[in-house]
A and B are shown apart, each in its own frame.
Chain A
Amino acid sequence: MKHIIQQVFHSGKFVFGFSIFATILLIVIFYPLFVPDPPLTILGQGTFFPPGIYVSVYDSLSATSYTLNLDEAAAKRIASKLSQEDRQAVKEWLIAAGIPEAEIDPANTEQLLDQWFANYDSKKNVPGMTNAKRNYYIRLNNALKGLLSPDAATVSQTNPQTGEMEQIDTINQTDYVNVSEVANLRLLPLGTDNFGRDILTELIAATRVSLQIGFVAGIIATLIGLTLGLLAGYVGGVVDDAIMFVTNLFTVIPTFVLLILISFSIGQEQRGAFTIAVVIGLTSWVWTARAVRSQVISLRNRDHVNLSKLSGHSIVHIILSDILPYIASYVIMALILQISSGILAEAGLSILGLGPRTTEVPTLGLMINWAMIYQAHILGNWWAYMPVLVTIALITFSMNLMNTGMDQVFNPALRD
């Protein structure tokens, strides 16, 4: 037994898959210890804040300000304000003003601005331009001038006694605050979702719940499949016929359709994560049962089983000690596949809106469902669904890799 485990850990595929899976597992276990926030807390007012560090504007004002003279500051400021549309509009104006197209580079902010201020004239009449477009150019020109002006911004507050605005502070363009001195900032590595929840915290909680669903479903499916397969294969006769009849019934009905119907009939309020796991487990044992049965049939006429019978052992003893150890490696591999397909089945169900109820725990499938309902994929908010897809892919990939690695160890015909 020890020898087999050693061999398994010498298989490159298994070790690679196992390290991915162990990493996911460790993150899932240790992340909540460092970030104890409940995963479904709503932080943001609004949908889909992009990933990044969020610094409190209010606290920045009261933090000590330092003066830094940086050359690039103005250019960077304008570059970040000047949208792609504005750049395109500037280019159009410049072409109309007679600059050759080859000399205009919308990506080069400095050159673009120089060309703009040299050529723009609000009085100039460009043929075919609408009034709205003319006004847009005037506004754009003012905005660009404003960005370039060296004036300080003024911070005012209403005096509660007099009701008048009083200037309390000015902010120069060269004023900086040290981020570590700002009282409030929040890192959102994956931004927020449609409800304004931190996606990373939610994703890790969802991974944990999905893994739990996978484990429960996989263990239930494997236990049922193993028991029925052993009984059908070893006892044979009428028992075999009866079990195979039921198994064949389950085989011809597509499992996912069965899953959808059962989930639907349970009803949204009754569907917890555990219920879904049990339902998945109860519908996916069929292939394990068939495979175990055929393995047992080939084993039951072996001489070592006959010898065990002649030694007076009971059926239970023979099944447990003469049959089960011989198919244990197969059953473990089947269990791993069942777990990963359980996770996929939950995701599939949740995407259709038939997953666990949404108020308690997130699952990987529910996160995709939410992202889909709020059209994250159309709005280009990749952080709402991409990390979830990657997580699902990594979990199933690592499990399949472990399975292939074990298969190569247990089945010498498959070794490279």
Chain B
Amino acid sequence: MTTLTQPLLSARGVTKVFGFGRQKNTAVDNVDLDLYEGEVISIVGESGSGKTTISKILLGLLTETSGEIYFQGAKRDIRSHAKKQEYWKNIQAIFQDPFSSYNIFNKIDSVLLDCINMRGGRSLPREKKVEMMSEACSFVNLKFEELTNKYPFELSGGQMQRLMIARIFLLKPKILLADEPTSMIDACSRATILDELMHLRREIGMTIIFITHDIGLAYYVSDKVYIMEKGKFVESGSADSVILHPKEPYTRRLLNDVPKIYEEWDLTTV
């Protein structure tokens, strides 16, 4: 893994506060993060720890209350719509729930065509577009001929999530933010989707931020792990050091929560 001296994306003191007064809620509290090109990092934490909030801030879907985000060394500027569009060519996301990720009124073709248009392929001939869409679908073991003119809700959850990966294949962003991409998927499809995701990463040299509550999954996919508790990163480091030698009690608790097939569950620690 080639690690450059300059991080691709970094966050410095990022804080997000929802509400005010008595209902004030600090979802993300003074978070620092560095993401180098080619890395896979995981942000692990339980529900409500602020994982999704930090991911939306990194994506630019939410505005941070304070702190700075640097993209490719320069301070990120996404105030205008054109600049946002430019930023989103570099950073894309896969969301947790495939069933709510698609506009149910748009056909699958239009989801994929949007990606081609975004990569400047608006004026390509129709055949070329179909060829690109077929290539993307076959990359995730879907057949474009079977999907064309269908609506997303006619697919299964696993197929929809694979279509999401096909979308990323077409967009070829520098950074992918995968927000629990497998948590709504059955266990059999889960491994396939993770494999396809890792395959895609090797294919287009993508950097991935993986957000999950499953520390075992994080160990399986990532180089670096950030453990998040109540809006703060309590522990971070290489996957091996954090997971095999956890320092924080919170990390140990997360590790204990992972179900093990050959051991009896210790319910006293829960």
Contacts and interface: CB of A to CB of B under 8 A. Distances in A.
A and B: interacting chains: yes
Interface of A: 302-304, 306-315, 321-322, 325-326
Interface string B68-105: 00000000000001001100110011011100111111
A310 B88 contact: yes
B118 A312 contact: yes
Contacts of B93: 306-307, 310
A300 B117 CA distance: 23
A312 B88 contact: yes
B100 A302 contact: yes
21 contacts: A303-B95, A303-B96, A303-B97, A304-B100, A306-B59, A306-B61, A306-B95, A307-B93, A307-B95, A307-B101, A307-B102, A307-B103, A309-B84, A309-B88, A310-B88, A310-B92, A311-B88, A311-B118, A312-B85, A312-B89, A314-B81
B115 interface: yes
Which of A307, A308, A315, A325 has most chain B Cβ within 10 Å? A307
Which of A306, A309, A310, A311 has most chain B Cβ within 10 Å? A310
Contacts of B115: 311
A308 B56 CA distance: 14
Contacts, number: 50
Interface residues of B, number: 23
A321 B105 contact: yes
Contact of B103 (A310, A312, A314, A321): A321
A309 B62 CA distance: 12
A313 B88 CA distance: 11
A304 B101 contact: yes
A321 B95 contact: no
A311 B100 contact: no
Given A309-B84, A310-B88, 8 more contacts: A304-B103, A307-B101, A309-B61, A309-B88, A311-B88, A312-B88, A313-B114, A326-B105
A311 B88 CA distance: 7
Given A311-B115, A312-B118, A304 B102 contact: yes
B81 A321 contact: no
B101 A310 contact: no
Contacts of B100: 302-304
Contact of B114 (A306, A311, A325): A311
B61 A321 contact: no
Which of A309, A312, A314, A325 has most chain B Cβ within 10 Å? A312
Contacts of A322: 103
A10 to B, nearest CB: 20
A257 B88 CA distance: 52
